[in-house]
Amino acid sequence: MSSIYIHIPFCKQACHYCNFHFSTSLKQKDELVEALFKELEMQYDYLGNDLVESIYFGGGTPSLLEAKTIAQFCQVIKEKYNLNQNAEITLEANPDDLTKDYLKALSETPVNRLSIGIQSFVEEDLKYMNRAHNAKEALDCLKDALTYGFENYSIDLIYGTPTMNDEQWCENLETVFELEVPHISCYALTVEPNTALHHFIKNKQTKAVEDEHCARQFEILVAKMDAAGYEQYEISNFCKDNAYSKHNSAYWKGITYLGIGPGAHSFNGESRQWNLAHNPRYIKSIEQGTVPFEIEYLSEADRYNEYIMTALRTKHGVELNRLIQFGYRIHDRFMDEAQVFFERGQMTQNGNQVMLTKSGMFLSDGIISDLFMD
Ligand code: SF4
């Protein structure tokens, strides 16, 4: 089993909090798309005949590409790779791109899932983050997506912004419940170094992000999602009626994935590699017949830490028989170190699985790093 991720490194405008790899200049868009097609052919050996269960167009803003280009990518993958005919094919899209015409065109491609960057339905909040869409576009695109048959979709929401109080956060969630959104990813606003937000806060040009405010809104999130019947299947991900993201679940299960495009990561259990995050140099290197990447071979400690970090964030938790594959010494060490969290009611065991409890989820970062191996 495997997955393919295609990174589209362009955005209309820069959101103030974002540290992903993208460019707001679309000048090289056509050359870059050509390079992506070429890289897809060059990287065939990374997956070989592995069955591809999901394709994810991420970014950046993949919805800046024409629907016919997305369809061509799917066709090339179908021809060159061993693509499951029922594969989940997700396109990340921004509300301002999801016009009726675009949705109609997309509905005629193999894309069968949308991940929509709503972030908030509060106007002031969207302005604070410098999103390219407004609150009305956020609402309209969700209704239109359904009209064009995209029943399988996810939305992203951000909490913890200083421009959204708890009441407005509750209203955002109520809107989601009224619309019966099947899958929701919710992230705390994080102030990353070298972002516009970091710069503005440092220079006191904008309000700072408070940890307490974020923590309280996470508590509200978990309680309201639970009351509304959503399953928290990963710390930041919620769904109804088993509308799990196959692609993200594959990441959390440590399944092999191939990343195509500048800045994209690939992983095969033994090593992790990442392409050069620079559009012109990436294009040039691909034109010259070389995929520009760096590679890190994972030590036993790296692989264990990676497994603990991803598995403990999910509702399934850590599988003890998988830990035994790292050796009994590591399995026993994990159980010893976890003891204190069992006693505090922050972790629990169900047969072969050890997972965080609800109260443990609030402290997940600290618990997971305490369980890491040096
Ligand atoms: S649209 Fe997404 S990738 Fe682009 S700047 Fe905003 S958050 Fe970053």
User: Candidates 22, 131, 157, 197: which one to mutate for ligand 1, based on the most atoms within 8 Å of Cβ?
Assistant: 22
* 25 and 119 assigned to the same domain: yes
363 bridge partner residues: none
* 125 and 229 assigned to the same domain: yes
Six token digits for residue 165: 């109080």
* 208 and 319 assigned to the same domain: no
Mean pLDDT across 2-6: 98
* 203 and 78 assigned to the same domain: yes
The answer, yes or no, to whether residue 374 has pLDDT greater than 90, is no
**Structural domain contains residue 17:** yes
* 35 and 132 assigned to the same domain: yes
**Structural domain contains residue 267:** no
**Structural domain contains residue 359:** yes
* 98 and 226 assigned to the same domain: yes
Residue 189 beta carbon below 6 angstroms from any ligand 1 atom: no
Long-range contacts at 142-146 (CB < 8 A, ≥ 24 apart): 142/116, 142/118, 142/179, 142/181, 143/179, 144/98, 144/99, 144/100, 144/103, 145/98, 145/103, 145/114, 145/116
Residue 129 beta carbon below 6 angstroms from any ligand 1 atom: no
Six token digits for residue 374: 């040096």
pLDDT tens sequence across 53-77:
999 999 999 999 999 999 999 999 9
User: Candidates 16, 19, 20: which one to mutate for ligand 1, based on the most atoms within 8 Å of Cβ?
Assistant: 20
Mean pLDDT across 242-259: 95
Among 251, 267, 283, residue at a domain's last position: 251
User: Candidates 11, 23, 119: which one to mutate for ligand 1, based on the most atoms within 8 Å of Cβ?
Assistant: 11
Among 226, 251, 276, residue at a domain's last position: 251
* 111 and 28 assigned to the same domain: yes
The answer, yes or no, to whether residue 114 has pLDDT greater than 90, is yes
Domain that holds residue 367: 314-371
* 157 and 240 assigned to the same domain: yes
- For residue 178, count other CB atoms closer than 10 A to its CB: 8
**Structural domain contains residue 275:** no
**Structural domain contains residue 295:** no
**Structural domain contains residue 142:** yes
* 126 and 240 assigned to the same domain: yes
Mean pLDDT across 328-333: 94
**Of all protein residues, whose CA lies closest to atom 3 belonging to ligand 1?**
60
The answer, yes or no, to whether residue 36 has pLDDT greater than 90, is yes
Total structural domains within the chain: 2
The answer, yes or no, to whether residue 257 has pLDDT greater than 90, is yes
**Pair type for strands 353-356 and 347-350:** antiparallel
| pLDDT at residue 345, as a whole number | 96
Ligand 1 atom nearest to CA at 130: 6
**pLDDT classification of 336: cutoffs 50, 70, 90:** very high
The answer, yes or no, to whether residue 133 has pLDDT greater than 90, is yes
**Structural domain contains residue 160:** yes
Residue 14 beta carbon below 6 angstroms from any ligand 1 atom: yes
**Of all protein residues, whose CA lies closest to atom 2 belonging to ligand 1?**
60
DSSP character for 95?
A: G
CATH number of the domain residue 228 falls in: 3.80.30.20
Contact (CB, 8 A) for 191 and 220: no
**Pair type for strands 256-260 and 2-8:** parallel
Mean pLDDT across 219-225: 97
Among 251, 276, 292, residue at a domain's last position: 251
Ligand 1 atom nearest to CA at 94: 1
Q: Which has the closest alpha carbon to 293: 251, 324, 265, 325?
A: 265
**Structural domain contains residue 281:** no
* 89 and 195 assigned to the same domain: yes
**pLDDT classification of 304: cutoffs 50, 70, 90:** very high
In angstroms, what CA-CA distances link 201 with 17, 193, 197, 355? Answer: 11, 11, 6, 37
Q: Kindly state the percentage of the chain with pLDDT values over 90.
A: 98
* 71 and 204 assigned to the same domain: yes
Residue 9 beta carbon below 6 angstroms from any ligand 1 atom: no
pLDDT tens sequence across 307-319:
999 999 999 999 9
* 337 and 188 assigned to the same domain: no
